[in-house]
Each structure stands twice: as structure tokens, then as C-alpha cells.
Structure 1
Amino acid sequence: MMHAFAALLDSLIYTRSRNAKLKLIADYLHATPDPDRGWAMAALTGDLDLPAVKPALIRALMESRVDPVLFRMSREYVGDTAETVALLWPTPDQPVEAEPLTITNAVERLRHLSRSDAPAALAAMLDRLDAEERFALLKMATGSLRIGVSARLAKTAFAQAFGLDVEAVEEVWHGIHPPYPTLFAWGQGTGEQPTPQDVPVFRPFMLAHPLEDLRVDLSDYAAEWKWDGIRVQIVHIAGETRLYSRTGDDVTGSFPEVASAFSTPGVVDGELLVKGQFQGGAAGSEDYGGGGAASFNALQQRLGRKQVSGKMLEEYPAFVRLYDILLDGTEDLRALPWTERRARLEAFMPQLDPERFDLSQVIEADSFTELEAIRAGARDAAIEGMMLKRRDSPYVTGRRAGLWYKWKRDPLTADCVMMYAQRGNGRRSSYYSDYTFGCWTEQGELLPVGKAYQGITDEELRELDRFVRNNTLNRFGPVREVDKTLVLEIAFDSIHTSTRHKSGVAMRFPRIARIRTDKPAAEADRIDTLRRLVT
């Protein structure tokens, strides 16, 4: 029933303990019948897709039922659209006579609707539910739960609920579709364990810890460049090829030229990049072992496109720089040490199209001090830093201490002026925590160059929230324009030209490094200074 799922979400929101969250989900899965629990798991793991229901539809539906101004003001105060709608949705004049709504009823109805039919169907469901159930339905329908439960935690809860190995669950998860009848049958002992032998399933990635202040012995660790693309896994099984992102999303359709070029049975791990020329500094990415990689800004032109035009394929051709090999044919290599997998990958490479695949080179250095000097000299558009991999490390899921480290290059910084602020989401919904900032033109005009909400402590968040409330000049819906007097030091990984922004530049991964109350706004950086950093 929707009521049970709503109670689960409510409990998860107010539970901080990881173990308590695991137990809540496990108890729900045991108490809930198929296929409701399968659709609930799809919602918790982000695998539920209801394309007819979009946030804009929900807003329009709500504004047709209540005063639009009241709704927008309430949404600004609450900080969450689903919660606002759940609380404000008007009670029907006549009670709705109907059976209690189940998750399966809702999903099966909504997933087969056209966008023109969806508003009436969704409104009819909301009329049947109480506030808690409306909240659950809307969260589920939009795929944005924000309840402090990651996909990995939900799968761990599933595994613990039925006494399964979570790695075995992860292994086949992306090859089985909601509501996962074969998974639940396996868990309850009424069905066989699903296997990835005949399906190109996703294998969870091995991840790295930040290096921070640690120094390692290069006799134990190998170093590679950390490229600034998107991590992908390429699987070819039973004549079918798929590309998966780090989160397990199938991105095959966005990069058809890569998929069609990989026809050798096996599974490899690498960085998907776009070919191009490095535009900044004295050296290009060819000086860092491989060459030909453009900045992430170029790759963004390809991301999220379900249909890729011939012009797009020509202007932004994709390729993959390979890091590791998980399966060679049907032979699983993940238990082998990195040195042996590296040798197998090098032997695997000649079978691949060199136009679409190359090998991430190992950085040669006699000492960690020499490696530091090499890293300090790298400012390539496509390089984020270095990876340090223990030579005897197997390929294991997630982050394991001491095996792999990521050593990002030092960020660039700029002093910018806060211009606008907006409330955050979740636990930050009561604070103005999202800040738009700008730099000066030569004519003295302040133009936006980025937006950030990361990097500040809770105390700094409260300080900035007070500044916004005490220095508001204008309000534009949920956005406040503030007096242009506060300087923020912004750290960012790189900066690129952008036709979408009036300033002509866009930052990559901006975050707030510190609040510069010591610096007058007139002394903040100029846009010309940022343009000289463009890669």
C-alpha cells in the first residue's frame, strides 16, 4: 500500500543511523508483497522512470488548484515541491470512493500515460491520498527522493534482508528490470540466482580515496594521470555491447561510435573523453601520455543526448582512455593484482580500434618528490590530477582504504562578489545556501560567472544566510538579489568559454573556499583575469 511506503520514507528522513536505515528498509521488504516492494526498491535506487510526470507538470497542476502566489511562497518557505504540494493539495468536495492505492497501481497507471493524460490521472490519485501518501507518490514519481538513502545503501538493505552477498546483488542489478521478480525469488529461495553470463550487466566500479597529506612509496604504488571526462565501463557479452556510467546508467545510446567499435568479449574500465586540442599553456595533453583529449566542456556537448546527430559525432568525436580490465572474454580478472591486470590490458589493446581506444600511461618517477614536481607542472585542460594505485590491489567494489588514491591538482581561485541567493534543499531548505557570484568587466559592470553551495561549514552557512536576509535588495520568486558588498573566494577546477553566460565563461566545480570580509567588493577579480585561465 502507498501508506506503508509513505511511512517508510517518513522514518528514513528522520533516521540518521545507517544501521537503523538498513533495518527499516529490510523490515519493509519482508512485510510488503510483490510487486509493490519491487517498485519501492526501484524508487529507492533511482531506477524508477515515469517520463510523463515532470516537476513542471506538478507545478502547473498545483497552480490550477490553489493560488499560484500562495503556492510559490509556500514552496520557497518549505524548500521542497513534493512536500509543499502534499500539504497544500485541497481536499475534494466529495469523498473519493475507491480502493486504497497501491504502489503498483500508481506506477502501472503513470508509466503508460502520455504527457497529455498524466495531469488528470495524477490529480485523481492525489485526491485519494492523505498528505503523507501524496508526498510519497510525488517523490516516487519525480525520482528525487532526497531522504538520505543512496542506491548502494538500499541494495545493501535488500541483501541483508535476505541473507545475500551485496556484491552478488550489485553484479546483476542492472541486468534485471523493476520490479525485480527474479531477485526477490532468489532472495526468498524460490528461484535460481541470476547470473551475468548471458547479459551485459554492470559491475560496480572500484573507487579511490583522496590522498590528502599522505605520501606513498612508489615501489608499492603506480601513478597514472586522472583525466577529466566521465568514468565508463564497457561490456561486450553475447554479441551485445553496453556503456555504463559510474552510477550504472546505460549511456550506450549517447556514444554509439564507441559502442560499435567495441566488439571483443570482455569488460574494461576507462575515461570517456572527446577528441580535441588543448587550448591553454605551452603544452597539450599529448605531453602527458596519450594526447588528443579536449576539456570537459567539449564532452558536455555530448552528455545526456539520446539522439546524436552526424554533426555532433563529427564535431565532438568520443574515445575512451582505458585504465583497467575486469573480464577478458569470460575470464574474471578482478581478483588478480593490478600489475597482472595491467599486463592483460596491454595484451588486450591490439584487438581494439585505436581511433576509439587508447591506454592510460603509467607515469615514470623515481621518488614521490619527483612525482610531486611532475604533478605541479601539469595544467592540461583534460587532466584533473593523478591516480595512485597499489600494485598488488585487486579490483574491488567501492573505496577500500590503502588501495587506490586520487590526487587532484590544486584548484584555481578567484575573488568574486555575491550577487544572488536562493534557498537550498533538504536540511538546508531553511537557509539561503545557493549563491550566484560575479566578477567585474573593464567597464565596471558585475556579471555572473558561477553558482556554488559547497565548501562552507554550518557556521559559515548561518553567517551567509544572515547576510542575505539583512542585505536583500530585490526578490524574484525564490531568488533574492543582495547588496553587492560581500566577496567570496571561489575555488574551481578549470574554466571554459561559454556562449550561455553573458560573462562568456563558465567554471568547472566551483565551491566556496572562504568568506573574504577583509576585501572590498571593488577589489574582486575581473572577468578578463578569468578569461586568461580558460582551457
Structure 2
Amino acid sequence: MFISPMLLHKSDHPFDDESYITELKLDGIRIIWTKFNDRVRIYTRHNNEVTSVYRELTNLDLPNGTVLDGEIVVSDKNGKPDFEACMERFKSIKAPYDIQYCIFDVIQYNGEKLTSLPLLKRKELLEEIIPSDHPNIATVKWIQGNGCAYFDLVKQNDLEGIVLKKINNSPYEIGKRSHSWLKVINYQYENCYITNLRKDKFGLILSFLDGKPAGLMEFMPPDERKKLYSMCKVHSENEKFKSVEPIKCRVKYRNLTKKGKLRIPSFVEWL
């Protein structure tokens, strides 16, 4: 039985507040683990069943009527989450990567719905029911408050970000994007040129200032798109793209891919 997970809102900055806990934001694939009628089924947050992809998670000995929420992560040689490797493993069980299911919440246990329980009670239960010796499963650790210091450590180690979760009056809100859970992304910034406009749907080809390809940008506020179209000077086109005179802008992105391109770039400002 699939249960749609609780989603996060964004916060532009970390903050220190003892009424929140702070967790590492894991750079992987959100997974809902379920067991009903003695059968484990595993789903992505979009309700795609992927049990056969993650067979190593089907032997977790928990009672029927259990639903867990967490993130599949693949770590690199330095122990940092490697999103590209995680996607390779998602696409093929033959990919040579070990997975870790990092569990941060329990939605249901032994047939009892736990969504109305306080956050810390759900965390305590997780520590009780999740075995510490499973090679592919772990619980996500947290601290109370200290969001700013935690985020500084994240930046120092080039990790994805943090999640701040409200302690009190914080039920698990199924299928909702809640302000009780806030993500703060450790964005990187780069100055680039826009060189091409995609025709079929909005998308901009970027290049670094040295001319090397920087990737595709699909995120730009509507008002900035209008400005873009007003300043574009098209000098050639083909079936898919319009080539324009380079327009300089600043973008933010998650990290560089292994091919040296920007991952999920989005517009910040014109330069």
C-alpha cells in the first residue's frame, strides 16, 4: 500500500531554534518502504514500485502494517552521497554500487497509524525497531537546534544541505508540502552565458565564461523570462534550438556533474 510522503518547503537561510531538530539533507532518492500481508513493497515518492530494484531491503524483519520513509543513498570513496551513482544503481541493479536506506520517519507500525504522534516520539520508535546490524539500512541522526553551525559544516564538506523539522505540533502530513519541514540547500554559484533557447519547452543552453558547455537551465521566474525574450538576438536556429548572442547571467546549482556540467542550474540575476 503506497502512502504519499510529506514534502518540504524551502528556507533561504539556516537558523538556530531549539524548537527544531536539524538533519543532514541526503542527496539520493526518496523511498517509501511498506510491509503488508507478509510482503514488502518499495515505492518512489511518485508511487512507482521499485521493490525489484532494491531487493537487499526486502529482508528487513518488521511486522505487517509498517510504513517507513527515507532516502536511498550511494556513497563515494570519501563517504559522501553520490547522486549520479545513486541514479545509475536505480536504473540497473547490475550497477556496481552498494546502497544505504537512510530512514528518517515511521508513518505506520504494526498496523497502527503514527502520523499524529509527535516527531520525537516517531524518532524514538525508529531507534527501537530498526536493527543496527543491517548492512543496507540506517536511521538518520539529528541534533536539536544549531542549524547555522550544522549548515557551516555542510558547506565545508560540499554536502547538499540540511533539513530543519519543527518538534512541537509537527504531525506527519501525508501528501502535503509542509512548513514544519524546511530544507536549506547548499547552492553553488557561477557566472555563465546563455547561448541557445530550446524550442519545444522552456530551456536554456549555458556555457561557462571560457566557452565550455555548462548544461541546460530550466528554472527562471516568469518576469525574467520576459526580459530574456526582449533582449534576445537570434542569429541562427535548427529544429530544436535558437542560437542567440551570448547573454551573461548568474546562476545557482547543486554541484558539478562528473562531466563538469552544472546540476539543476536556476537563474539568479542578469550581469
- Kept in 1: contact 2:15–2:148 (CA 8 A): no
Residue of structure 2 equivalent to 1:434: 203
Residues 376 and 213 of structure 1: CA distance in aligned 2, closer, same or farther (over 3 Å): closer
What is the TM-score with the length of structure 2 in the denominator? Answer: 0.88
Aligned partner (choices 85, 97, 112) of residue 298 of structure 1: 85
1:344 aligned to 2:113? no
Q: Deviations over 1:123-154 (max 9, x none)?
A: xxxxxxxxxxxxxxxxxxxxxxxxxxxxxxxx
Separation in structure 1 between the aligned mates of residue 15 and residue 225 of structure 2, nearest angstrom: 33
Residues 447 and 251 of structure 1: CA distance in aligned 2, closer, same or farther (over 3 Å): same
What is the TM-score with the length of structure 1 in the denominator? Answer: 0.47
* Higher relative helix content: 1
Q: What pairs with 1:24-423 in structure 2 (closer than 5 Å)?
A: 201-212=1-12, 215=15, 217-218=17-18, 220-258=19-57, 260-265=58-63, 266-278=66-78, 292-303=79-90, 305=91, 308-309=93-94, 312=95, 315-350=96-131, 354-365=134-145, 370-379=146-155, 380-381=157-158, 383-392=159-168, 393-399=170-176, 402-409=179-186, 411-423=187-199
CA RMSD of aligned residues (A): 2.3
Secondary structure at 1:339's aligned position in 2?
Answer: helix
Secondary structure at 1:508's aligned position in 2?
Answer: coil
Separation in structure 2 between the aligned mates of residue 478 and residue 509 of structure 1, nearest angstrom: 20
Residue of structure 1 equivalent to 2:258: 497
- Kept in 2: contact 1:419–1:435 (CA 8 A): yes
Q: What is the deviation of 1:267?
A: 1.4
* Higher relative strand content: 2
- Kept in 1: contact 2:199–2:242 (CA 8 A): no
Separation in structure 1 between the aligned mates of residue 177 and residue 254 of structure 2, nearest angstrom: 25
Structure 1 stretches of at least 4 aligned residues deviating more than 6 Å after TM superposition: none
- Partner letter of residue 457 of structure 1? P
Secondary structure at 1:254's aligned position in 2?
Answer: coil
Rg larger for: 1
- Kept in 1: contact 2:14–2:148 (CA 8 A): no
- Kept in 2: contact 1:236–1:263 (CA 8 A): no
Secondary structure at 2:204's aligned position in 1?
Answer: strand
1:477 aligned to 2:254? no
Q: What is the deviation of 1:262?
A: 2.6
Residues 449 and 214 of structure 1: CA distance in aligned 2, closer, same or farther (over 3 Å): closer
Secondary structure at 1:497's aligned position in 2?
Answer: coil
Percent of aligned positions that are identical:
23
Residue of structure 2 equivalent to 1:457: 222
- Partner letter of residue 385 of structure 1? G
- Bigger relative contact order (CA 8 A; separation at least 6): 2
Q: What is the deviation of 1:513?
A: 1.0
Q: What is the deviation of 1:245?
A: 1.1
Q: What is the deviation of 1:216?
A: 6.1
Q: Deviations over 1:188-232 (max 9, x none)?
A: xxxxxxxxxxxxx111211222234685631x2211111111111
Separation in structure 2 between the aligned mates of residue 358 and residue 232 of structure 1, nearest angstrom: 13
